[in-house]
Amino acid sequence: MKVAVATDFSVRSDRALLRATLMARRTGAGLVLIHVVDEDQPPELIASAQRSASALLDATSRTLQEQGIAAEPLVTVADVADGILDAAAASACDLVVLGPHRSRPLDVFTGTTVERVLRISRIPLLVAVDTPTRAHTRTLIALDFDEPSRAAGIAALELGVFDHTDVALLHVFDASAEGALERRAMTDPGAIRDYRAFEQQQAAEKLQALVDEIGLTGATMRLVPLTNTLARTILESAKQALADLVVIGTSQRKGFERLLIGSVTSDIIQDAHRDILIVPVP
């Protein structure tokens, strides 16, 4: 496996480098250290930034190589999001690791660096949210019954990023009629319990079939009713499961929709307190 690490040399992007280093030690992955010099500035500033970035990445690569980790530096001039992905694709990387970049003034319109990369990426993206102190130990995979979810599970399994972790599979089921039943004064409380149990059983059977199809053996299953937003429910479940990695899938067909009104994926990125692996599905 080859992992692209995007860095702007900030403390926040250092989380991405540390997370990728831990992954490389566990899996033997090679690293490509990428810095993108923003093309929208005067040529003399671009040249100066290239020299500085090359010196820093060369030094970091040598340090990693001395530790037995294959690492190569790559400095490019481009739009930041495009540059990261083009460099990762040119190096045949299987995964891109980013830190939780801060929003820039115009990000209210364009989204954070992570979101801009996500909207156009065909490569799985790991957002290193927390400061890594060890390799991942517990993974929560949020699964639905649509194609993006199935493909995300398969792709994440093939990456091998959670081969050495305890895995919990989460499905959030929507017992949407329960609220209406509760508002009806004459409804038997037992009928409400039966309704929720029926919805949960239906979801359990579908989830088991999906698990069998994907091949995620040995994982525990968590079925949770939707009582808040989907993003909040997933993050709360991750907290309860003590997960330090959350895996979700996202469909690129709704990229522009995410730009305008947000999405579950965007909400999770913005509110997460643990690492997020996002698998984009065309």
Bridge-based pairing of strands 125-127 and 275-281 is: antiparallel
- pLDDT value of residue 190: 67
Domain boundaries, the chain: 1-131, 136-282
Q: Which residues of the chain have pLDDT under 70?
A: 101-111, 175-192, 251-263, 282
> Is the separation of the CB atoms in 247 and 141 below 8 Å?
yes
Q: Measured between alpha carbons, how far is 241 from 170 in angstroms, rounded to an integer?
A: 10
- Classified by CATH at the fold level, domain 136-282 comes out as Rossmann fold (3.40.50)
> Which pTM value belongs to this model?
0.84
- pLDDT value of residue 60: 97
Residue whose entry in the numeric block shows the structure tokens 């481009």: 78
Q: Measured between alpha carbons, how far is 174 from 144 in angstroms, rounded to an integer?
A: 11
Q: Cα–Cα distances in Å, from 239 out to 175, 236, 274?
A: 22, 5, 9
- pLDDT value of residue 109: 36
> Is the separation of the CB atoms in 127 and 114 below 8 Å?
yes
Picking from 131, 136, 127, 169, the residue whose alpha carbon sits closest to that of residue 279 is 127
Residue whose entry in the numeric block shows the structure tokens 């009928």: 191
- pLDDT value of residue 24: 94
Q: Apex CA 112: angle with CA 48 and CA 271, to 5°? A: 135
- pLDDT value of residue 275: 93
- pLDDT value of residue 149: 74
> Is the separation of the CB atoms in 3 and 23 below 8 Å?
yes
- pLDDT value of residue 177: 44
Q: Measured between alpha carbons, how far is 50 from 35 in angstroms, rounded to an integer?
A: 9
Q: What value does the CA radius of gyration of the chain take, rounded to a whole number of Å?
A: 21
Residue whose entry in the numeric block shows the structure tokens 């490389």: 24
Q: Measured between alpha carbons, how far is 10 from 17 in angstroms, rounded to an integer?
A: 11
The greatest distance separating any two alpha carbons of the chain, rounded to the nearest whole angstrom, comes to 76
- pLDDT value of residue 18: 96
Residue 2 phi/psi, 5-degree rounding, is -120, 130
pLDDT digits (tens, 9 = 90+) for 90-125: 999 999 999 985 554 444 334 577 778 877 888 999
pLDDT digits (tens, 9 = 90+) for 183-207: 454 456 666 677 778 888 888 888 8
- pLDDT value of residue 265: 75
Give the alpha-carbon dihedral of 259, 265, 266, 271, to 10 degrees.
Answer: 170
Q: Measured between alpha carbons, how far is 119 from 251 in angstroms, rounded to an integer?
A: 9
In this structure, CATH architecture of domain 1-131 = 3-Layer(aba) Sandwich (3.40)
> What percentage of the chain carries pLDDT values higher than 90?
43
Residue 60, H or E segment: helix 43-66
